[in-house]
């Protein structure tokens, strides 16, 4: 289906929903009780996202926030409350009906918030060609919209262009665990249902990294629905546009604490738990970012640690047989490959079937922020205890 046809059909679908009150595809999680205190009912009734964007919790007064696919303006208005009257919010949308509703309600929201003037501006535009200045935005949010764009990699490049060095994004969207087949890709109705345009997890995150973002990682994940054996997930992801390093020649050492036995970072460098590794300034910047710093010890001299060191972190499986219960794990942390103490190899965005013992390990608080766990079976599973290893052992852990 031609890209222009997809875009027009999606726009028509959302314009119709705004006019008729039709319920749209995406899971919702807004706190409408709170929002009703300053957002008009007309806006609340046409809000189709996955919930109030988690990125707004990080907003500081005076920042500039961009909402891709702003619709009736609900997320922009919440951002306006958080940035305060000295901040700025830009919403872009391709649907005239949505823009009309958002613009009409902007001065009402400003009055309800006690702002002397509205600090929200709504612009007509496409996600893959944003009418926004280079390096002008502190935070990008987007709520179940990018999956509707035919060329998502171009959207990610545009995001990188408009974010300031040191800025970040936090977006919610629908992704799939498998490649969406062509009969769904060319089903016009299912584009508006957030299905046909969904990318696999590894392609979605990989496109962000290819655009230049670093430390891309999951904030939340929720199974949404399954169609013809393809599982769709609602995920919230955050990533950063790092500023230039201060000293290109600076070097230091990093030691992986765990819980992983080994990992490979987004720059392609591999680390083994407890063994110090020389790193350059770019690696140090990456490893000291918020989602990675708890995994590493970084300093000017090499530091080896061992299992007796309190900084060492290893989560070992129980010594008992395994049960297969249709659980799958997807690595969604800020690393591209990882290995646990059972020598399972995880590749970011790629589903791996796991047994009951590995499930228990990955749901431990040290591991759980880095994984999405979901069930593929359509009905209950009553597996029997088995030995996972071909040698008769069962997930034997490293010493």
State the DSSP H helix or E strand holding residue 264, giving kind and residue range, or none if neither.
Answer: strand 262-264
Q: Are 113 and 260 members of one domain? A: no
Amino acid 8: pLDDT? 52
Amino acid 397: pLDDT? 45
Amino acid 396: pLDDT? 47
pLDDT per residue rounded down to tens, the chain (399 residues): 455 554 555 544 444 544 445 555 555 567 788 889 999 999 988 776 656 677 888 999 999 999 999 999 999 999 999 999 999 999 999 999 999 999 999 999 999 999 999 999 999 999 999 999 999 999 999 988 898 888 999 999 999 999 999 999 999 999 999 998 888 887 776 655 667 788 999 999 999 999 999 999 999 998 988 888 899 999 999 999 999 998 988 889 999 999 999 999 999 999 999 999 999 999 999 999 999 999 999 999 999 999 999 999 999 998 888 899 899 999 999 999 999 999 999 999 999 999 999 999 999 999 999 999 999 987 777 767 776 665 545 554 443
CA 94 to the chain's CA centroid: 23
Which of the listed residues 205, 240, 275 is the one where a domain comes to its end?
240
Amino acid 65: pLDDT? 98
Q: Choose among 182, 268, 192: nearest CA to 228.
A: 182
Measured distance CA(302)–CA(90) in Å, rounded: 46
290 CB neighbour count, 10 Å cutoff: 13
Residue 186 within a domain = yes
Q: Are 264 and 220 members of one domain? A: no
Amino acid 185: pLDDT? 82
Sign of the CA dihedral running 270, 274, 275, 281: positive
Q: Are 46 and 108 members of one domain? A: yes
Q: Are 183 and 87 members of one domain? A: yes
Q: Choose among 86, 74, 87, 88: nearest CA to 34.
A: 74
Cis ω on the peptide bond leading into residue 259 (within 30° of 0)? yes
Structure tokens at 9: 């059909």
Which residue's entry shows tokens 């706190």? 31
Q: Are 73 and 143 members of one domain? A: yes
Q: Are 64 and 177 members of one domain? A: yes
Measured distance CA(297)–CA(319) in Å, rounded: 30
Q: Are 185 and 256 members of one domain? A: no
Which of the listed residues 206, 240, 274 is the one where a domain comes to its end?
240
Q: Choose among 144, 163, 143: nearest CA to 77.
A: 143
Question: In CATH, what number is assigned to the domain containing residue 147?
Answer: 3.40.50.150
Q: Are 52 and 115 members of one domain? A: yes
Residue 394 within a domain = no
Q: Are 264 and 235 members of one domain? A: no
Residue 13 within a domain = yes
Q: Are 263 and 151 members of one domain? A: no
Measured distance CA(357)–CA(326) in Å, rounded: 13
Measured distance CA(243)–CA(311) in Å, rounded: 30
Residue 282 within a domain = yes
Structure tokens at 92: 């872009």
| Domain span including residue 194 | 8-240
* DSSP notation for 79-148: HHHHH-TTSEEEEEES-HHHHHHHHHHHHHHHHHHT-SS--EEEEE-BTTB----TT-EEEEEEES-GGG
Pairing assessment for the beta strands 270-272 and 214-227 based on DSSP bridges: unpaired
Q: Are 277 and 360 members of one domain? A: yes
User: Residue 32: exposed, middle, or buried by beta-carbon count in 10 A (0-12, 13-18, 19+)?
Assistant: middle
φ/ψ of residue 318, rounded to 5: -70, 150
Measured distance CA(338)–CA(328) in Å, rounded: 16
328, β-bridge pairs: 353, 374
Residue 3 within a domain = no
Which of the listed residues 240, 260, 290 is the one where a domain comes to its end?
240
Split into its structural domains, the chain has a count of 2
Q: Where are the alpha helices (DSSP H) in the chain?
A: 3-20, 32-35, 41-44, 74-83, 96-113, 152-162, 182-185, 188-192, 201-211, 281-287, 356-362
Q: Choose among 369, 46, 110: nearest CA to 236.
A: 369
Q: Are 185 and 262 members of one domain? A: no
Measured distance CA(209)–CA(190) in Å, rounded: 27
Measured distance CA(34)–CA(39) in Å, rounded: 9
Residue 1 within a domain = no
Residue 179 within a domain = yes
Q: In Å, how far are 19, 41, 95, 97, 210 from 101, measured between CA atoms?
A: 10, 11, 10, 6, 36
User: Residue 326: exposed, middle, or buried by beta-carbon count in 10 A (0-12, 13-18, 19+)?
Assistant: middle
Residue 359 within a domain = yes
């Amino acid at each position: 289906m031609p890209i222009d046809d997809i875009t027009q059909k999606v726009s028509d679908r959302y314009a119709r929903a705004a006019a008729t009150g039709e319920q749209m595809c995406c899971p919702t999680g807004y706190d409408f009780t709170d929002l009703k205190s300053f957002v008009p009912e007309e806006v609340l009734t046409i809000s189709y996202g996955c919930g109030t964007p988690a990125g707004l919790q990080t907003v500081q007064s005076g920042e500039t926030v961009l909402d891709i696919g702003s619709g009736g303006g609900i997320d922009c208005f919440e951002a306006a409350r958080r940035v305060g009257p000295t901040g700025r919010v830009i919403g872009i949308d391709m649907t005239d009906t949505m823009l009309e509703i958002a613009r009409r309600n902007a001065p009402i929201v400003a009055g309800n918030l006690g702002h002397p003037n509205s600090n929200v501006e709504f612009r007509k535009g496409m996600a893959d060609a944003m009418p926004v200045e280079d390096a002008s935005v502190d935070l990008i949010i987007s709520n179940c919209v990018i999956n509707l764009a035919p060329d998502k990699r171009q959207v990610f490049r545009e995001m990188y262009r408009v974010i300031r060095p040191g800025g970040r994004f936090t977006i919610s969207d629908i992704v799939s665990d498998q490649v969406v087949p062509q009969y769904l890709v060319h089903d016009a109705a299912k584009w508006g249902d957030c299905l046909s345009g969904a990318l696999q997890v590894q392609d979605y995150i990989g496109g962000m990294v290819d655009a230049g973002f670093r430390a891309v990682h999951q904030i939340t994940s929720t199974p949404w629905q399954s169609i013809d054996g393809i599982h769709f997930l609602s995920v919230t992801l955050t990533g950063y546009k790092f500023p230039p390093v201060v000293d290109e020649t600076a070097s230091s050492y990093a030691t992986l604490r765990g819980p992983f036995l080994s990992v490979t970072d987004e720059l392609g460098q591999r680390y083994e738990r407890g063994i110090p590794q020389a790193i350059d300034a770019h690696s140090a910047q990456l490893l000291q970012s918020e989602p990675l710093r708890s995994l590493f010890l970084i300093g000017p001299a090499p530091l080896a640690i061992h299992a007796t060191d309190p900084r060492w972190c290893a989560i070992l499986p129980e010594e008992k047989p395994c049960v297969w219960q249709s659980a799958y794990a997807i690595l969604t942390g800020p690393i591209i490959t990882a290995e646990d103490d059972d020598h399972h190899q995880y590749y970011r965005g790629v589903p791996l079937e796991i047994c009951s013992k590995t499930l228990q390990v990955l749901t431990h608080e040290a591991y759980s922020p880095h994984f999405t766990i979901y069930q593929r079976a359509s009905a209950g599973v009553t597996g029997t205890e088995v030995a996972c290893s071909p040698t008769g052992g069962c997930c034997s852990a490293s010493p």
